Amino acid sequence: SSELTQDPAVSVALGQTVRITCQGGSLRTYYASWYQQKPGQAPVLVFHGKNNRPSGIPDRFSGSSSGNTASLTITGAQAEDEADYYCNSRVNRLSHLGVFGGGTRVTVL
Amino acid sequence: EVQLVQSGAEAKKPGESLKISCKASGYTFTDHWIAWVRQMPGKGLEWMGIIYPGDSDARYTPSFQGRVTISVDKSINTAYLQWTNLRASDTAFYYCARQDRSHDSTIDFWGQGTLVTVSS
């Protein structure tokens, strides 16, 4: 399947931990990448691959994967982490095309 | 520093044509695939297609095949997205984005986005 499924919304208390999940058949073969998008801004890559955090991304962002599910965890959520988060993975080995999940809105309370 | 700078906002009428651009700098343009991503108002991200500037090999997500054309001019490090018959439903932000060299279709850099508004 080329679809990725995310929960539409989650909330987290300031300083607590939140896990965002992404499910799809392609995740059995390919790692997910995760993007943060704040209102009026372009998305930003926050985690990708087995264990890769781009330069400048706080280490409170981490990722994991098991079977057909990938997860992004924010440990000690901050007010500035309130945003939409999207997962993405490759569709198949013949194509460089990817597919995004529907996005998860994270609210920091 | 890798940068993708997109052309400015456009306001068009249904049936008109449009070509928007994405100028890359800070890396070897022909080494990375460039993707185009649509975001309709209040909605999520959608892959439209991708192109390899080295040989102009372009691929499209099925729902966008035949609706848009992706091209490049590698002499000026620029990728393009074009329409020949705009519809009101094409109103959206369009992002160009660079794909990294992993096997997972990771996008590592994004343009700032171009807002296309189609209205009569």
Residue segments in chain B with a per-residue pLDDT below the cut of 50: none
Q: Is A93 exposed, middle or buried (0-12, 13-18, 19+ CB in 10 A)?
A: exposed
In this structure, are strands B18-25 and B57-60 parallel, antiparallel, or unpaired?
unpaired
Smallest Cα distance from A14 to chain B, Å: 25
Record: contact A90-B103, CB cut-off 8 A: yes
How high is the pLDDT of residue A95? 82
Q: Which residues of B touch A1 (CB under 8 A)?
A: none
pLDDT of B102 reads 82
- Among candidate residues B27, B26, B25, B24, the one with its CA nearest the CA of residue B35: B24
Pairwise CA distance, residues B77 & B55, whole Å: 13
At A89 the three-state DSSP class reads: strand
At A1 the pLDDT is 53
Q: Do B104 and A102 touch (CB under 8 A)?
A: no
CA distance A37 to chain B (A): 10
Interface residue of B40, B65, B106, B114 to substitute, partner A, most A CBs within 10 Å? B106
User: What pLDDT is attached to residue B11?
Assistant: 98
Nearest-angstrom CA–CA distance, A34 and A86: 6
> pLDDT 10s digit of each residue in chain A, 109 long?
569 999 999 999 999 999 999 999 999 999 999 999 999 999 999 999 999 999 999 999 999 999 999 999 999 999 999 999 999 999 887 888 999 999 999 999 9
Q: Please tell me which of the candidates A37, A42, A98 has its beta carbon nearest to residue B47.
A: A98
